[in-house]
Amino acid sequence: MKEIGVESLRKTAYLRDTSSAVVARKVVVNAQGTPVEVILSWKSFQQIAEALGWDLNAEAKADLRATRRDLAKRDSKAFVPLSAL
């Protein structure tokens, strides 16, 4: 297989995240043009990780699991009415 320099494999592209903000990124493709890596800024990665919940600590994850269980059981006592907020 012929070696191709990394710079020749990079191209700039744009990705829309869930907040409709444009995230600049570079896509690294192999010799066949198939994407193999995505490079983005640390700030963009942090925003995506937060939106996906990757930054939650163990306590927050446990709270979310408990909330899902309460919702599945339709346990209204586990929730505060909106009027109380």
Burial code (b: 16+ CB inside 10 Å, e: under 16) for 1-15 equals: eeeeeeeebeeeeee
Write the CB contacts of 74 (distance below 8 Å, at least 6 apart in sequence): none
Other CB atoms closer than 10 Å to residue 83's CB: what's the count?
5
> For residue range 2-53, what is the model confidence (pLDDT) as tens digits?
444 444 444 444 444 445 567 788 888 888 889 999 899 999 888 888 888 8
Report whether pLDDT(72) > 80: yes
* Nearest in space to 17 (alpha carbons), one of 25, 9, 28, 7: 25
